[in-house]
Chain A
Amino acid sequence: MRLLTQSAVALAMLVATSTDLLAQRRITGKVTEEGSTTPLAAASIQVVGTTTGTYTDANGAFGLQIPSGAVSLRVRRIGYQMRTVLVQADQGTVAVELKKDVLQLETQVVTAQSGSIEKRQAATTVAAVSGEDLSRVPAMTVDQALQGKVTGARINMNTGAPGGGGQIQIRGTTSILGNGEPLFVIDGVIMSNASIAGGSNTLTRAGGAATNIASVQDNRTNRLADINPNEIEDIQILKDAAAAALYGSRATNGVVIITTKRGRSGQARWNLTQRLGQSSLLRGIGTRCYADSSAAVTAAASAASQALAIEAFNAAKAANGGSIPCNDHVGQLFGRSAMAWETAINVSGGSEATRYFASASRKVDGGIAVNTGALRDNARINLDQNISSRLQARIDLGYTRSIANRGLSNNGNDPNTSPLYVLGKTPSFLDLRTRDASGVFPVNRFGGGGAAANTSNPFQTFEHVTNDENVDRFLGSATLGWQALATDVNQVRVEYQIGVDRFTQDNFLYSPNFLQFEPQDGLPGTVVNTNAYSRQFNQVLRANWNFTPTSGFASFRTSAGITEEQQGLNVSRVRAQGLIPGVVNVNQGQQLTFQNQELQTDQGLFLQTTALALDDRLTLGAGVRGDRSSNNGDRSKYYVFPSAQASYRFGKILPGVDEFKLLANWGQTGNRPLYGQRFITFGNTPFINGVNGIGTNPTLGNPEVRPERKTDYVLGFTMAGLGQRLSLDYAYVNTRIDDVLFNRPIPPTAGISQQIFNGGRLRNTAQEISMTVVPVQRQGMTWVSRTAFQQIRNVTEQLPIPPFNPANVGFGAAYGRPRITQGVSTTAIWGNRPIFRDDGSVVTRDTIIGDAVPDHEMFFTNTFTVGRFTLNTQVDWRKGGDLTNLTQNIWDQFQRARDFDAPSPCRGQTAANLACVRNAGGVRTLLDTSATATLGRYRFARWNNGNDARVYVQDGSFVKLREVSLTYSVPQSVARRLLGDRVGDVRLNVVGRNLAVFMDYWGMDPEVTNFGNGPIRSAVDLAPFPPSRQFFFSVDVGF
């Protein structure tokens, strides 16, 4: 009680403190873009040497009380080079022109839990992406918007389904069994990026057994999908351990810091964006058309009995007037041109004491198949309130509703409901689309392996199956900041912040009784309800102290704090089968339930200091964080993660070089164990006679488990030259991960199979280069070209256990999958291949046949501005990166691949060509070399029941035209004549995403994967949801 009273008194005194009354005067001014006279809104004006400042309004104008006498104004705006202008004692107005900062040298980058530094001074390689770059071309999700914009990151969309589902992996594989996702922080809230299965495996049977009601093959959405790119001011990605170290034992995979837009004082400024567009199939899979009856019947009989094949073929041929029909089922099913639109409005304004930013938006993406699509509503309000001159409060609140109807996709088993899975087995002569007079779809009996049983007709499935995901999410934070001290020499700011991220995800999957495949299990009708509750909470108390001694020799920025973070997730799921027709309530059927609950809490302490010296040319920094977690075996022990960094900027050391910076840093971060790994428990067995059974858990927990520890060092340089027309960044990264979590195998005869433990070492290296050139920069015309290059290598340097196959990345040696082996790339793909020995014999061996990590990736962004037109293009090139093409394997097996009848490369070959020889029980056996040998048969025969996995482990190189946008900025005079005097800025845009892909890869998209997110990023293309291309026309109006 006494403490409270004292605090109240202290608070009252603070509020009572008033600003002093120095002699002041008022000036007005205008800020414009150099060369174009375009007014610049939201530029910040600050009186040098004080904390007095303001922002420009929509017309670039500002007004400011300044001390009498001559003062210097520092004028800066994101995307422009900072300028300092002198205002004479008698000057009342001032005009400032800012030059575009095309090289982004002055972007503020994050250095610690709070505090930032100009990119040109930074000693770490932070990637920054502005909100403008993110939302120029609308993306389904933030991860999609980030593709190709972050050097050092592999960002892939796992699926083409509406609603998203992607993964960001920074600088290679850092964990095998632990968490592989970066930490996402939005406005200080540590947010969940969980991927929660919806239970579609119940229908696809991807996990095999009918008892599985969820699996990693459920085409999951990662919940970053709930964030609206339009609300984002910028995203910074802390890649170096030295930069991420202050996030401690959750930062091994990097930290993605998202900052949303904030209000600026002044008249309310509105921005309205309306987009209207269309999605369509980017690339299908095609089909084989049968040349003659014999080919058609043979193909059909590979997925059914001969009798059924003949019967179905004759019927189809007769119905088509005697010629063999050819249906591109995938093109038909995913051939919809779906409307997409987005409406977004935001407003910013306020008084000097109260500032607000509010926004609301709705985005609708129609799916390219019937009954698929996604909708996202976002609303946000960010408030800043000056309680007194020294006490500020901030309250941010964001709301999201995400709805996605994602159909079915990915792996399957009987009864074959995943569309590309069953269509591979269905002959193209069948018309699956045309309903009979009573509206019933044709019955598909192919794919059941010769049983006359029905499989599925995907047209019927998509028409009637419901697979909805519905998310409601609140993200909010409250911050109280207190400027304890503000002198020219010392500035101390203390901040307390709490953040909450709360969402529910409900999945509703319903497959009505009358669907063709439903009676197959004897329980017609399926419904699965999934309810996930996620709650994350974090609080931090921190103090920042800026110390600038009057000697001017150096300045210091120090921050220290304590944090606590808590994450809870509770997923429950109930399935009912054997429904009463028309009833979707689970009470009515045979039920199976599932629940998983997790809760984890971390506490940390941090301290970091950065010094700028030698005329701000030298940056030195060091920091340390101590962390403890409920997931560690010893929960009271603090694990310590130190970091150090340095950079030095040289002046014009060579002709043409304006500035040259060398940087080096070293740091450690952690990856704490997963929930549950420290417990020794009984495992669950099925119920028997109404009683639940327990028994030995095959995986033994470990009460000594501790965080994985990453140590990396980064060496790099940044060069700017040719009068701000060229910049070049280079970084070399060497990362080592120790104490990697592995399962130690225990001979199963002991009754248990494995135990989790820390050991071994991974080693990753990366090279990142980015170059920006301004080939043209003159009145009314600029061309800015940015090229980025990244190369990542990850190796399992020490493995204290025998080689093993990690779970959920592949399907065995027959198809190729990662196999963790000492001294070998962590992402190497191992699989069977024949080894031809000199003595003429042949053996099949499980060995390295590829690597999931690309040789390198390059991103090309070009911006051309001519007068009021701006054209922006982004092209991504990936060289290498292998994946398993199981889709093709199925389409070959059942003789449906579009190129099945193309000539086999083995025509006319002899046994000397080893590509035409397979291992038949230890005997070299020649494949079909006749003049009629076909490509599809060649592939499947060479694969040889999995004895040569190389056939379907394929190169995923591509060139993608990811983004194109053409913007016309309407002259203000025209806009005002048309829309009224308040209108500021009006832009018209034509934009497109995923417009074209150039590749030799046979499938639809080498980036998709059947297994979704996981620490080892290795792709399996298995009946995915096809990717789509999007076009939009949009109007942005500011008033």
Chain B
Amino acid sequence: MTTNITPVRSDRMTRRLPALLAAALLAAGCSADRLNIPNYNEASSDQTVDRPLLQNLASGILAEQRGGLVGLISNVGIFGRESYLYTSSEPRNTTLFLGTFPLDNSGFTNGQWDPRFRNARNAIELIRAANGAAFLSDGEKNAVRGFANTLRALDFFYVLATRDTIGIPTAIDIQTNQPQPFVSRDSAYRFISGILDSAATQLSAAGSAAFPFTLPPGFAGFNTPATYRQFNRALAARVHIYRGSTDCGAACFTAALTALGESFLSAAAGADLRRGVYHTFSTAAGDALNSLSIPVTPDQLAHPSIRPDAQLQANGTRDQRFVTKIRSIATRNAPGGIAVGIPTDVGFALYPEQTTPLPIIRNEELILLRAEANIGLGQFATALTDLNYIRTNAGLLPPLPSLDTRDAAIDALLYERRYSLLWEGHRWFDVRRWGRLLTLPLDIPTHFRARVMPVPQSECLARTGLAANLRAPGCP
């Protein structure tokens, strides 16, 4: 390369060239408007409310609840000795859930927390959106409030059921996100009943208005404010019963009977025990599969005690509920290599397809709730009718002649609940509520029976250093 640049004077024009270039670049390129780039991946939270947005918010709440229920059933199934999760790559599903006391709160046995509170917040967001939506009638607004509050109560219910005596915070500060104090178990149940009651009032006030969004097919028969209210009352009955069996007693059992009267309970001859509200799954893009189902998680197995504990029908075969819900498998051991294997030769047949729906609450439970309320009130004969209805219709078992003592009545109730509601997320709560946690079998002597799920470490840490009333109970 040869460059011959001789010194020249710069004339006026050439001196102006860089200035011109700079001006052009500045004008064309460097305007701050070019820095205004939106978020392409997620919806802004301050957008205008319209019907599609309400649908998205409502669907979001239901989708979160569906995921939460799947996790709940898997976790409390292990605690309640109904199920195992023998994923070979994750032995902690056995070692931590059954064998490590106290339960690890740092991320493995602490479910049913963050997403539940988040979903309760979603319900508040939906109500706020509806409140400000000029295009909704008052009836529609009440329908939205009733819908959202019912689900909010259900989210709180599951957090409380898994934490029991620890208690939970019930208020959510969506303005400043400040932590709220924990309240006792009974206050929390009262709070949940309160939300359910106000939701029922709102659903009644909706009148003939329809929900301004579509509910999934699992809500078929319960997708108008009036029919959805039956679902609301069914949940209210469950909450009253839980409270009745712990801190409250007769008053709550009576309230439960009232609520059941407004629910979809039917013990008529030939009543459909499976009638109820379900979560549905789909193979469509973006939707979820039922991860309790055999094809999705073949490592979900049943506890071997389910077989010998099932009573015999008159013809010698086991309880029909056992027959239809349990399948035999080649014996499998807990993963963990050198660790002791815990063999089981039974699995579930409950969710055979990857889109088998998952019940939230159904008629069979309602009949058993009514039996439980009557047992709680000492009305054993009334209770016996309901128990025998289930025994004979669902289990094809001979009816019980009588319920003689309260203990015998509770034992009978718990047996029916165990097989009628097998692996639907009830067993662990039931034995704990009635003080029968010790009836749960231990597979090996070093195992233990969990009583509550811990408050997650993240909650503990985020409350470190706060005033005593704001700290989380039970944190290490």
Contacts and interface: CB of A to CB of B under 8 A. Distances in A.
Contacts of B61: 693, 695
A17 B8 contact: yes
Given A7-B17, A679-B42, A389 B458 contact: no
| CB-CB nearest 3 A-B residue pairs | A751-B121, A522-B295, A449-B88
B456 A748 contact: yes
Interface residues of B, number: 117
A629 B117 contact: no
A591 B337 CA distance: 36
Contacts of B107: 812
Nearest to B44: A681
A973 interface: no
A833 B58 CA distance: 46
A893 B333 CA distance: 15
Given A597-B40, A686-B67, A750-B177, A693 B60 contact: yes
A594 to B, nearest CB: 9
Given A600-B37, A681-B45, A746 B2 contact: no
Nearest to A485: B10
Contacts of B30: 562, 564, 603
Given A7-B17, A894-B337, A688 B59 contact: yes
Interface in B462-476: 462-464, 472
A280 interface: no
Given A425-B88, A688-B63, A695-B122, A598 B216 contact: no
A690 B330 CA distance: 38
Contacts of A9: 13
Nearest to B34: A601
A684 B101 CA distance: 36
A539 B25 contact: yes
Contacts of B179: 747, 749-750
Contacts of B127: none
B446 interface: yes
Interface string B1-30: 111111110110111111011101110011
B95 A802 contact: no
Given A413-B90, A450-B341, A684 B298 contact: no
B2 A683 contact: no
Nearest to B107: A812
A395 interface: no
B35 A630 contact: yes
A687 B462 contact: no
Contact of A636 (B4, B35, B461): B35
Interface string B300-339: 0000000000000000000000000000011111111111
24 contacts: A11-B17, A19-B4, A54-B1, A449-B299, A483-B5, A522-B354, A592-B285, A596-B41, A601-B34, A603-B29, A603-B34, A679-B44, A688-B59, A688-B280, A691-B214, A693-B60, A693-B64, A695-B119, A747-B472, A749-B459, A750-B173, A753-B458, A895-B338, A945-B91
Interface string A650-683: 0000000000000000000000000010011111
A1014 interface: no
A937 B296 contact: no
Contact of A698 (B17, B60, B118): B118
B391 to A, nearest CB: 34
A393 interface: no
A506 B52 CA distance: 34
B240 interface: no
B181 to A, nearest CB: 10
A536 to B, nearest CB: 15
A452 to B, nearest CB: 5
Given A630-B36, A687-B286, A696-B121, A412 B114 contact: no
Interface residues of A, number: 126
Interface stretch (A188-196, A430-438, A486-494, A771-779): A486-494
Contact of B5 (A54, A390, A751, A893): A390
Interface of B: 1-8, 10-11, 13-18, 20-22, 24-26, 29-30, 32, 34-37, 39-46, 55-64, 66-67, 86-91, 95, 101, 106-107, 113-114, 117-122, 125, 168-169, 172-174, 177-180, 214-217, 280, 282-289, 291, 295-296, 298-299, 329-339, 341, 354, 446, 456, 458-459, 461-464, 472
The CB with the most chain A CB atoms within 10 A, among B39, B86, B329, is that of: B39
A630 B31 CA distance: 12
A598 B40 CA distance: 7
A108 interface: no
A562 B26 contact: yes
Contact of B117 (A416, A748, A941): A748
A539 B446 contact: no
Contacts of A64: 2
B39 A681 contact: yes
B461 A745 contact: yes
A1 interface: no
Q: B-side binding surface: helix, strand, loop or mixed?
A: loop
Contacts, number: 352
Contacts of A487: 7
The CB with the most chain B CB atoms within 10 A, among A482, A486, A693, is that of: A693
Contact of A522 (B35, B173, B296): B296
A496 B21 contact: yes
Given A414-B299, A681-B39, A695-B125, A686 B172 contact: no
A450 B331 contact: yes
Contacts of B334: 449
B34 to A, nearest CB: 5
Q: A-side binding surface: helix, strand, loop or mixed?
A: mixed
Contacts of A562: 22, 25-26, 30
Given A562-B30, A628-B35, A941-B338, A697 B42 contact: yes
A303 interface: yes
A968 B114 CA distance: 67
A537 B339 CA distance: 57
The CB with the most chain B CB atoms within 10 A, among A355, A413, A541, is that of: A541
Nearest to B56: A694
Contacts of B101: 921
Contact of B45 (A601, A682, A750, A921): A682
A682 B173 CA distance: 17
Nearest to B31: A603
A416 B88 contact: yes
Contacts of B45: 680-682, 697
Given A3-B20, A593-B286, A687-B286, A355 B1 contact: yes
Contacts of B216: 688-689
Interface in A914-972: 921, 937, 940-941, 945
A483 B4 CA distance: 12
The CB with the most chain B CB atoms within 10 A, among A628, A697, A753, is that of: A753
B287 A486 contact: no
B11 to A, nearest CB: 7
Given A521-B295, A940-B338, A689 B282 contact: yes
Given A685-B60, A750-B172, A520 B22 contact: no
Nearest to B288: A686
A389 B462 contact: no
Given A676-B39, A748-B459, A451 B2 contact: no
B63 A682 contact: no
A413 B297 CA distance: 12
B458 to A, nearest CB: 6
A390 B20 CA distance: 18
The CB with the most chain B CB atoms within 10 A, among A17, A355, A804, is that of: A17
Given A449-B332, A599-B40, A684-B42, A635 B13 contact: no
A591 B3 CA distance: 63
Given A54-B2, A425-B88, A748-B459, A484 B10 contact: yes
B439 to A, nearest CB: 23
B21 A751 contact: no
A10 B11 CA distance: 9
Given A389-B5, A690-B284, A696-B118, A302 B338 contact: yes
Interface string A462-492: 0000000000000000000011111110000
